[in-house]
Amino acid sequence: MGRRRFGRINWIGTLTLAEREIRRFVNVWSQTLMAPLITAGLFLLVFDLAIGPRRGDVMGVPFITFIAPGILMMTVIQNSFANTSSSILVSKVQGNIVDTLMPPLSALEMVVGYIAGGIARGLLVAICIGLGALVFLGIGVAHPLWALVFVVLGAALMGGLGIIAATFANKFDQMAAITNFIVTPLAFLSGTFYSVASLPPFMQTLSHLNPIFYLIDGARYGILGVSDSDPWLGLLICSVTTAAVLTLCWSWFRSGYRLKP
């Protein structure tokens, strides 16, 4: 990884890496875009059939409307994480990670390239699910800018965590363990299907320590205009957490930690 003077950016290399990451998931759109849309639709259908008729309004909106933004954000972060983690881990397992390390790309440019792919996939998934919610549930967007900011932040945060997980893991079963025991529980225990105000005080405190809670809550505020916490507080916490995660990604790329043979 070549070093250049401060202020000089290899735009061609950075954009090429970003384009490669986008092409990776676009070429298999049925798995990366259509499958998440179907999964989100099944979540909404099952919860509506099983709970919806007997569940009252939550925070002043119907239950199925309440959980829709959470399912959207949960799907976004899962796909952003999968995009960066699969790209790096597959390259490590196949032994061609050197093709990414050899070009004259700085650590910052590599982070930007990988995260751009994760954000692009997250945004496309969000648009697909959002359009489905609009058509079938009549759910609009109360605060479009807030919704966009939290979707981008969520995709960037989980894309960064995907880089960290894939850099640390050397085998697919290690990545599966990280996904199953860390990423999935954090996503499900973040207020996706419930308001944290209904939890016991201790569980509320734990929920507020989970940064994904603020992503879910922020997306809910952006789409429905209701939230469990102050969206400005959520924006601050998510921004700081994302900056910390991306800084660690930059540090590991810069040192070649668990990447260089």
pLDDT tens track for 102-118: 888 999 999 999 999 99
Relative orientation angle of helices 63-94 and 107-137, to the nearest 10 degrees: 150
Whether 246 and 162 have beta carbons less than 8 Å apart is answered as no
Better pLDDT: 237 or 47? 237
Residue 4 lies in a domain: no
pLDDT digits (tens, 9 = 90+) for 18-41: 999 999 999 999 989 899 999 999
pLDDT above 90 (res 14): yes
Residue 172 lies in a domain: yes
Q: Tokens 């790329």, residue?
A: 253
Backbone angles phi, psi at 169, to 5 degrees: -80, 145
Instruction: State which residues form the domain around 135.
Output: 11-255
Q: How far apart are the first and last CA of the chain?
A: 14
Residue 1 lies in a domain: no
The whole-number pLDDT of residue 56 equals 78
In the chain, the number of structural domains is: 1
Task: Tell me the C-alpha distance between 107 and 21, whole Å.
Answer: 16
Residue 2 lies in a domain: no
Whether 118 and 83 have beta carbons less than 8 Å apart is answered as yes
